[in-house]
Structure 1
Amino acid sequence: MTATRQLSPMAAGLGLRRALLGPLQAAAPGDFDFLECAPDNWIGVGGRYGAALRELSSRHPLVCHGLSLSLGAVEPFDDTYLLKLRRFLDEHRVPVFSEHLSYCSDDGQLYDLMPIPFTEEAVHHVAGRIRQVQDALGRRIAVENISYYAAPYQSMAEIDFVNAVLAEADCDLLLDVNNVFVNAINHRYDPHDFLRRLPGGRIAYFHIAGHYDEADDLKVDTHGAPVKPGVFALLDQASTLFGPRPALLERDFNFPPYAELVAEVAQVRAVLARHAPAEARHARA
C-alpha cells in the first residue's frame, strides 16, 4: 500500500464538492489543511472531474467518508466495490476512511441514513460487519455517530451503543459534533455527558456542520447553513477533553461565497489552536 499522508491534530479541512472544484483548485495556501470526499461519488470518474480530483489529492491530504456500505444492513457486502474502494484509498494515499454507523439499504438503496436499533444483538451484528470491511480494506476504519429523529428500538442508550460497537469492532470514531448537539436536543440528553463518556483514544477526527432550527426542541442536521455558536462551543469542549484533532467543515448545499467558507474553516482552526500544546502554539506564532 502506498504510504498515506498524516494529518496534523490542528488541521482544519473542507468537504470536496463538485460545485467547489474551481475555488478549491485556485485556493491560496492556508485556506484549508485537508479535503474530504465521498469515494462513492468519485470511484471510476474520469474526464475533467477525475483529473481535478487527482490534482487536488496530489497537493492536499484527502480523507474519505463513505455513503453506501450500509454497515447496519443484512445484505452481503459487494466485494467488487470493496476492492475498488481499497484501490481508490491507496491511489490517493488516504489517511482515514470512515463510514456512518447506520444502514442505508434494504433490498435496494433507501437514500437515507437509517438508525440501527440500540441493542446487544445489533452491536454484535454491526461490529462483525465493520471487521469484515477492515479486513477487506486492509486498514482500520472510523465510524460516525449519526443524527436520527426516531429510534426503531432502544434497549441501551446511544452512548452505550456507540461505545460497545467501537470496542467490539476495534475501530475508530469519526466524532460528528453537530450530530451530538442535534441529537442531544431532539432526544433530550446532556451532550457534555455524552462527550465525557467517549473513548478519546479512538477519535480519528471531528465533523462540524450547520443545522436547521425547526423548533426549540427540534433540530435538523442539514449541512446547508453556517455552524451555530453552540456547536462551536461543543467542538471547544471536545478539544478540551480529548485534545485537538483534525476537524472537517461539512457543507453540502446552499454554498456561500468561497471566502465565507474559508472564514468558517479559520474559525474551526482557531478552536483547535486554543488547545494545542504550548510548543505547537509557539511554532505557529
Structure 2
Amino acid sequence: MSKDIAPTSAGLGLRRSLLPELQEMPEGAVDFLECAPDNWIGVGGHFGACLDELSSRIPLSCHGLSLSLAGPEPLDMQLLTRTREFLDRHKVTLYSEHLSYCSDDGHLYDLMPVPFTEEAIKHVAGRIRQAQDVLGRRIAVENISYYAAPYQALSEIEFVTAVLEEADCDLLLDVNNLFVNACNHGYSARDFLGRLPAGRIVSFHVAGHHDEAPDLKIDTHGATVKAGVWSLLTMAYQRFGVRPTLLERDFNFPPLPELLREMGRIKTLQRAVTQDG
C-alpha cells in the first residue's frame, strides 16, 4: 500500500546527523520526510535499520541527486533500477530530480546549468521520459539555482515550461531557488509564477540562502528561510493551491525543536491560504 502525502503537508529532510532526534520526535511532528535514494541505496546496519523504522511510520518523499537528467552521458540504468526498487520498497509516491546535470565522464559534485535552447529541451525531455519508463512512475523535476548560464536562446521560464510539456513530467517548485534566480538574473518571480502550468506542480521546497550583495544571493540550505521566500511561497499557494512543502536544511543544523518550529510556519501558511480560499 502506497503512503500518499496529503497536499496540506510539511516535511523535513532526512539527514543522517538528525537520525537520533528524528526517531525520538513526537508522533505527528512532521507529515513526511524527504531522503535522497542515492545516499541510502544498499545501506544496511544501524543506518539502514533507522531508515526502515522511520519509513514504516512516516511517509517518505525522495529527491534524487545523481541521475544527471541533462547530462551528455547515457543514463545510469543500474542506478535507475535500484532507485525503482528503493521507491517501491518504501512505498514512495513523490519522487523528484534536478533539471540539471552532474556528471560527464565522472561525477562533477555540483548541479550544472543547462543551455536554454530548443536542442537542450529535446535532449533533456527525452532523458526524462526514458527515466520515467524505467522507474515506472511520473517524476517531478526541480528548478535549480544557477549563477551563470552557458547559453540562453530562451528565457528560464520558457525553457522550464517547454521541458515539462515535452517530457510530460511534473514540477517540484523550489521557491528559494526561484527567489535567488530572480534576484541574481533580474527577472520578476511573480511573473515567473504566473507562467507556470499549475497542473504540473506537485510539491514545493523552501530553504535558506546567503545575501552576498543586494543583487547576489547564494543558495546554501544552511540558514533559516528569509522573509522574501516565505512571501513568495504564500504567493505560490495562492496561485496554485497548497502542495506538500519541504523545509530543506543541509548543514548548520539548529536543535530539532527549532527546525520543527520553522517547519510549523509552512503549516501556518497552508492553513491560512486554505481558510481564505
TM-score range, shorter chain: over 0.9
Shift of 1:78: 1.8
Identity %: 66
> Tell me, what secondary structure is at the counterpart of 1:274?
helix
Superposed displacement of residue 272, structure 1: 1.2
Contact map agreement 1:123 1:165 (CA 8 A) in 2 = yes
* Alignment correspondent of 1:99: 97
Residue 225 of structure 2 is matched in structure 1 by 227
Match of 2:155 in 1: 157
The amino acid that maps onto 1:147 is S
Amino acid across the alignment from 2:177: N
Between the aligned partners of 2:274 and 2:59, the Cα distance in structure 1 is 20
Shift of 1:30: 3.0
Matched residue SS, 1:99: strand
For 2:190 and 2:105, how far apart are their aligned partners in 1?
38
Task: Determine the C-alpha separation between the residues in 2 that align with 1:200 and 1:24.
Answer: 33
Local SS of the residue matching 2:137:
coil
Deviation of the 1:191 alpha carbon? 0.3
Letter matched to residue 5 of structure 1: K
| Aligned residue number for residue 3 of structure 2 | 5
Aligned to 2:119: 121
Question: Does the residue aligned with 2:273 lie in a helix, a strand or coil?
Answer: coil
What's 1:176 paired with? Answer: 174
CA distance in 2, matches of 1:237, 1:28: 31
RMSD: 1.0
Match of 1:48 among 46, 53, 73: 46
Q: 1:89-128 CA deviation, whole Å, 9 max, x = no partner?
A: 0000001110000000111110000011000000000000
Query: 1:199-210 to 2 correspondence within 5 Å?
Result: 199-210=197-208
Amino acid at match of 2:48: G
Name 1:137's counterpart in structure 2: 135
Q: Which residue of 52, 76, 79 maps to 1:78?
A: 76
Structure 1 stretches of 4+ with a deviation exceeding 4 A read: none
- Quick check: 1:31–1:265 contact (8 Å CA) kept in 2? no
Write the distance in 2 (CA, Å) between the matches of 1:196 and 1:263: 30
- Match in the other structure for 1:62: 60
* CA distance, structure 2, for counterparts of residue 205 and residue 108 of structure 1: 30
Partner of 1:34: 32
TM (normalized to structure 1)? 0.96
**SS state of the match for residue 248, structure 1?**
strand
Matches of 1:97 and 1:70, distance apart in 2: 15
* Amino acid corresponding to residue 4 of structure 2 in structure 1: Q
Structure 2: tracts of 5 or more residues without a match: none
State how many pairs are aligned: 277
Q: Aligned partner of 2:207: which letter?
A: A
SS of corresponding position for 2:224: coil
1:144 and 1:175 in contact (8 A); partners too: yes
Question: Equivalent residues in 2 for 1:270-281 (5 A)?
Answer: 270-276=268-274
The residue that corresponds to 1:255 in the other structure is: 253
Partner of 1:276: helix, strand, or coil?
helix
Note closer, same or farther for the CA distance 1:181–1:140 as it changes in structure 2 (3 Å cut).
same
State the one-letter code of the partner of 2:110: D
Residue aligned with 2:85, SS:
helix
Which moves more between the two structures, 126-135 or 267-276?
Answer: 267-276
Q: Which letter does structure 2 place at the counterpart of 1:258?
A: L
In 2, Cα distance between the equivalents of 1:148 and 1:261? 26
Write the deviation string for residues 171-224 of structure 1: whole angstroms up to 9, x where unpaired: 000000000000000000000010111011111100000000111110000000
Helix, strand or coil for the counterpart of 2:252?
coil
Which shows bigger deviation, 262-271 or 71-80?
A: 71-80
Q: What is the one-letter code of the residue matched to 1:27?
A: M
Asked if the contact 1:103/1:115 (under 8 Å) is kept, the reply is yes
Q: What TM-score do the two structures reach when normalised by structure 2?
A: 0.98
1:29: Cα distance to partner?
Answer: 2.3
Structure 1: segments with no counterpart, 5+ residues: none
SS in 2 for 1:67: coil
Counterpart CA distance in 2 for 1:164 and 1:231 is 25
Alpha-carbon distance in 1 for matches of 2:228, 2:75: 38
Give, in angstroms, the shift of residue 277 of structure 1. 5.5
